[in-house]
Amino acid sequence: MRLEGKTAVISGAGSGIGRASAVAFAREGARAALLDINAEGLRETIATIAAAGGSAFSIETDMTRQDAVESAFAEALRQFGRLDIVFNVAGASGRRWGDGPVAECTLEGWQRTLDVNLTSAFLGSQCAVRQMLQQPEGGSLINLSSVLGMVGGDADFGTHAYAAAKAGIIGLTRAIASYYAPDKIRANVISPGLIATGMSKRAQSNETIRARLPQLQPLTGDFGAPEDIALAALYLGSDESRFTTGAVLTVDGGWTAR
């Protein structure tokens, strides 16, 4: 029960990494508010947690809208009275809007991809920090980035707005970590490699990418699991990481070590 007595807000909790993290946090004793624009996905996550005896509630939330995010965090505070952990997971590939290599990326693709990935993290971070500043013991903020925010992608990973957004999350989080360290607010990043979620279906069905996995992620030569990221978030949310801030924790099977 590593999070017993703690409260958490997790965005993007309706599927994938967000769902796995919500389940892991509840299993370890946290009371959680789960945010996602996907109401059906949230219901499934809540059902999974309830079946395991955990405690959580959901709020349908568009993480790109300031009013929606502020309202969701206000509801979490009404329920909990405090926020110990905030994990900003919400994000999406921008290919559907026109993201791609910079010479081909559309302006809509650029703007929508940054909104869904970077603006959502900014709004979640802002609400988290504003509340944690009012708590003498601060809190733990965790933001989800990607290996593509750290290293360049080749033709198989040519989504430059997505890469810029994920790099922006790293810069934002490290700035928060430095500025708010005296307030006992910890801010850290998790940067996953290829994880078997709904968002990576394109890569999972691409035989060229699958054949490259032993090179890309040599530790296993395979996709990671959402639970791999959830366990990293569990560490960063718990008191075990009390001396850790400004870190970029790569959970990528060796991708960025090459």
What are the structural domains of the chain? 7-252 (3.40.50.720)
Grouping H, G, I as helix, E, B as strand and the rest as coil, residue 152 is coil
Q: How would you classify the pairing of strands 7-11 and 55-60? A: unpaired
Q: Where residue 89 falls among pLDDT bands split at 50, 70, 90?
A: very high
Q: Position 200: which residue type? A: S
**Which residues contact residue 8 at a Cβ distance below 8 angstroms, ignoring those fewer than 6 apart?**
25, 30, 31, 32, 33, 83, 84, 85, 86, 87, 237
Backbone angles phi, psi at 36, to 5 degrees: -170, 155
The yes-or-no answer on residue 235 being catalytic is: no
Write out pLDDT tens, residues 183-201: 999 999 999 999 999 888 8
Query: Is the model's pTM score more than 0.75?
Result: yes
Tokens 């903020």, located at residue: 141
Grouping H, G, I as helix, E, B as strand and the rest as coil, residue 7 is strand
**Which residues contact residue 250 at a Cβ distance below 8 angstroms, ignoring those fewer than 6 apart?**
147, 150, 191, 192, 193, 256, 257
Exposure class string for 35-54: b at 16+ Cβ within 10 A, else e? bbbeeebbeebbebbeeeeb
Mean pLDDT to the nearest integer, 230-234: 98
What is the rounded radius of gyration, in angstroms, for the C-alpha atoms of the chain? 17
Picking from 146, 155, 132, 19, the residue whose alpha carbon sits closest to that of residue 92 is: 146
Lowest pLDDT segment from 44-48, 51-55, 188-192: 51-55
Q: Is residue 75 pLDDT above 90, yes or no? A: yes
Q: Is residue 27 pLDDT above 90, yes or no? A: yes
**To the nearest whole number, what is the mean pLDDT of the chain?**
97
Write out pLDDT tens, residues 108-133: 999 999 999 999 999 999 999 999 99
Write out pLDDT tens, residues 169-179: 999 999 999 99
